[in-house]
Amino acid sequence: MNGFSSFSRIAVGLALILTSLRVTPAQGQFGGSEVLNPKVYHAPGGKFSLTVDPSDRCARGAATYHCQENGQAKWSVTLPFTLWDAGITDEGIVGGYSYTEGYAGIRDTGDFVVAILSPKGEILLKETTPRETSRFPHDYSDPKARGLIVDGPNDRMVLRISDPDVNRAQETWWGYQLSKATASEKLVPVNLMPNSEVARSILDVKPVPNTPLTLVHWWRYDNKQPQGGRAGARFTLIDLQAKPVWQLDLPTDYEVPGDEKAEDNLRHLIRQGVGILGTNEPGRFDILVAAQKAKKSFSVKSVSGKWEVQEISQVAFDLTAKSKPQPLNLPEISLTYMDSVTIQTVPPAPVSGIHSFTFDGNGQIAFLRSDEPIRGKVSPTTFIQIDQQGKVLRQIPLAVDVQANSQWTGCAWIGGTQFLLTHSNQGFESKSRGWWLDTKTGKLTAVTGFDCPAVDRLLGFADGDWVALATVRHKFTSTSSMLAFDSRGQRRWERTDDSNRQGEDQLFGVKDIARTSRDEIVVLGNVLNTVKVFNREGHVQREFDLAESWKREPNYASSIATDRDGGFIVEDFDGKFRFIRMKSDGSVHAEFTPKYEDGRLVNTSDGVQVAPDGRLWACDGNCLVRLTEQGIVDHVVGKAPQPTELNRIASLSVDRKGQIYAVDDRTGSIHVFDRTGKLRHGCQSLPTDFQNAVFQSAMAMNDQEEVYLGLGDGLSFDEDERQFSHFSATGQRLENVKLPANRCYFQPGTGNVVAIRMNEILLIDPSGQVLQTIRRSPDGNWLNYLNQVAVGADGSIAILNQGAIHLYQSNGDPIRTIALPQALGHFPSLAYDGTRAVISGECGLLLVDNAGKSVRSCRPAEWKDTANEFGEPFLVAGGQELLLYSHGTPILHRYKLP
């Protein structure tokens, strides 16, 4: 059985270098992986090694420690703390640090522990410091270490401790004497350095062998220079008291004028620790001089009590080689193409593919209709105008030259037969383009000099003026503004989202805007949960607090729309009611959640609007619905959700016989096809099964060809259980069942359930007894964010996780881990039949036998124009055939496997 696609969660592995210092990936301000896998530490001379095996994935609590001397067991002990990072000297002394409640320390801050162990594994030092919650958002509890030096020749251990003040970023070094297992001084290296104002933070630190010196790589940034500063490097050699004895400044070394992409790549490499290229030889170190694309080597020696540093060599260093994708270097094979299978879907209705719907002054409905997007290409878009009965009045293709990966973002009536349309690119600093459309003549006229960032919402006025909510996207942030234009397209005024909230006419945390029937502009701010009412000149007239008006806190105020009589409608996503109707004075008029008469919720993906006659309308992207005052659908334009029809496929699976199971994205009904694509039967959903459009469905089939579908809008993250609809082999609806995880598979031949949770797998027998819990891969590492899991015909289990396939026997016992190339990309898919696995990723297809002796690659000709995605694989016909499902289409390609 094959796994399901899911948003990738990337877990960053720990790469800790011993007897030197390295910043661990988890130390960043916004955090990284909190998982600590078993680690093996080696003494510099190779005599001793230490294995730390955590009992908990986040390094909370105890760990088992094994020390070897010359490959033979020396001692083994279980200690009540887990060293997050450690080192071992040539004398067998161990030093390191621990977080008793894990690195994050969020639920319980816990303690920070510094430990030194004797050559026999005895605790010589256990220094405990209570941790405190950081006062900076998204940062973890303090103290936290940025790295560790265990330096036996100099009888010292140094912990680099992050500055609790993230903006200041002046780390402190905690020193310890290893032989006496005692703390020494605490130093702030930047304070001991002259002209330190440009030394912003430490990037890397490494001791220089056979000396008491340490090489420090600083991020150097001078914001007093023109163009906002100069970014480069400072390298210093410091003594045991952290005082500099040598310094080299490269003020602009990390700038690439005129090539922003190359500059970004360079700085990314530098942050990965490329600045210091080596400290492997006694009295010598190597650094990168990026501007010269060179590795420079220096010697260090003491002369008459002073340290002399000399450059001794320089060789070319290829910066691009570090960032280039590495070739697979795998044997390539060709697959025999057999045929394609097209499963039966209902053609889209004339009124479908709807976005940006609005009304003109006569109550006629206008919207933009886009075809299914093709990766890397522009989707054809048509302006549609219909009456309220669904009669198509006008279809005007928007035949203008637009960029790929951009989109139409606005459609607004601006009086008479005139509409304004906007098209926006989502790149940095990008601008929108605008066109006037005359529906009488069908003529599109470009708005010359259109000066507006990417449009999020477009409002039109009957006199030809308009207002846009727009966003300027910078490299590391974005800024929202409300901009007003006259009928000639000239900007009249602008209000910018201001985090300092200076002036009552400014915006703060703006989420959406709407035009009222009195031509006022209402602005929804969902940070403070307020609505501000502006006049046409951009000045605030009134302001309302939603919590006060609603007599409860909003769940997530996500959009605002026009209501009649100067009022407005606020959408509260996943709140008590989906929409709250408010009068012009801020009081609540009514609350409702749009539904069909049978109780099915309306997926209001394109919001609600009020027609000139005062009636409410909503749109789910596939049809338009008119609502009663109570929010009940009383009229549909287009096609309402039909449980018996397969429109767009939300997810698809294939069983071992080749039968195809497709889930409709509007209803959640499952449509079952034979291996040729002929419809066998349907498994109809109930109106109350799903709250919104269906995506990333969790589906499973058992030996009896019964089908189970996880209920809810998407993948549940409940670690315990989930409701599944249940259908017989002929499509008869049976009683819902509760299965023990958000995704479950049925193990062939046993009736057991393989339950997939975020970080573990449970093997559960039909009575509900847990037979096995799998938390680790066969190589001993922790499983982390399980997205791709498959069960073979023999009941064995395959997991695609963190760049490897992990195989388990049918009883859950580990078999082996098979490492894979790093070119899979972020969203690989897995198929497995018990004998071999197929992985689909950015590199194409990988075929892996379960013994791990053969990994081969393939790039089928039928997919040669596909960018970054090779479909979802399924193994059928006893593993002899491969089906590749093309996402967003009803097509599967069939191949004969060698």
Q: Which helix (H) or strand (E) holds 320?
A: helix 319-323
* Contact between residue 530 and residue 540 where contact means Cβ atoms under 8 Å apart: no
The two tokens of residue 790 are 């498959």
Query: What gap in Å lies between CA 745 and CA 763, rounded to an integer?
Result: 10
Query: What gap in Å lies between CA 175 and CA 184, rounded to an integer?
Result: 5
- Concatenated DSSP letters of 551-582: TS--S-EEEEEE-STT-EEEEETTSSSSEEEE
Whether the predicted pLDDT of 146 surpasses 90: yes
Weakest mean pLDDT among 414-418, 459-463, 502-506? 502-506
End-to-end CA distance of the chain, in Å?
Answer: 20
Taking only the tens place, the pLDDT of each residue in 370-379 is 865 544 455 6
Taking only the tens place, the pLDDT of each residue in 78-135 is 999 999 999 999 999 999 999 999 999 878 999 999 999 999 999 999 999 999 999 9
Query: What gap in Å lies between CA 694 and CA 669, rounded to an integer?
Result: 10
pLDDT of 605 reads 84
Taking only the tens place, the pLDDT of each residue in 377-401 is 556 899 999 999 999 999 999 988 8
Distances (CA, A) of 574 to 579, 691, 723: 10, 10, 19
pLDDT of 531 reads 97
Model confidence at 338, pLDDT cuts 50, 70, 90, reads very high
- Backbone φ, ψ for residue 28 (5° rounding): -65, 160
Query: What gap in Å lies between CA 125 and CA 17, rounded to an integer?
Result: 22
Overall average pLDDT of the 617-642 stretch? 95
- Going by C-alpha positions, the residue among 692, 698, 693 that lies closest to residue 715 is 698
pTM of the model: 0.86
pLDDT of 501 reads 64
Total residue count of the chain as it appears in this document:
898
Q: 547 by DSSP, 3-state: which?
A: helix
Whether the predicted pLDDT of 5 surpasses 90: no
Q: 85 by DSSP, 3-state: which?
A: strand
The two tokens of residue 286 are 């190597």
* Longest alpha-carbon distance in the chain: 97
Residue 804: beta bridge partners?
A: 801, 819
Q: 898 by DSSP, 3-state: which?
A: coil
Distances (CA, A) of 301 to 214, 248, 283, 296, 586: 13, 17, 7, 17, 77
Whether the predicted pLDDT of 350 surpasses 90: no
More confident position, 333 or 85: 85
Residue type, 668: G
The two tokens of residue 454 are 């990417």
Query: What gap in Å lies between CA 519 and CA 311, rounded to an integer?
Result: 72
Residue 419: beta bridge partners?
A: 413, 437
pLDDT of 261 reads 87
Model confidence at 325, pLDDT cuts 50, 70, 90, reads low
Q: How many other CB atoms are there within 10 angstroms of residue 81's CB atom?
A: 21
* Contact between residue 220 and residue 249 where contact means Cβ atoms under 8 Å apart: yes
